[in-house]
Amino acid sequence: MVLLKTILVILLIYYGLKILVQLFAPKIFGYAAKKTEEHFKEKFGEFAQQNQRNEERVGDVIIDKKPSKKNTSKNDSSNTVGDYIDFEEID
């Protein structure tokens, strides 16, 4: 008889918890989703503010250095990059 009572108590607790979880799980998940959404909005708001500061400079023309006024003729030897080296194969 004690074994039957124990089994019935275990089943009652199991089904009671199952019903409670079905009732409260949507509320708990909704609360967690709302908190997560608030967290993402806060982080995205910081990111958007940083982008607005960076967008103020988009389109600005910045010249770091003036181009030099060298003679750009193709026959001028002063514009050569380096010496030509002829390699020979060794057998």
Position 70: which residue type? Answer: K
Measured between alpha carbons, how far is 83 from 79 in angstroms, rounded to an integer?
12
- Are 72 and 79 in contact by the 8 Å Cβ rule? The answer is yes
> How confident is the model over 39-44, as a mean pLDDT?
86
pLDDT tens-digit readout, 57-84: 666 777 777 777 765 555 555 556 777 7
Give one DSSP letter per residue of 28-43, joined into a string.
HHHHHHHHHHHHHHHH
pLDDT at position 31 over 90? yes
Measured between alpha carbons, how far is 40 from 38 in angstroms, rounded to an integer?
5
Position 86: which residue type? Answer: D
- Structure confidence at residue 21 as a pLDDT band (50, 70, 90): very high
**Between residues 32 and 68, which one has the greater pLDDT?**
32
> How confident is the model over 37-61, as a mean pLDDT?
73
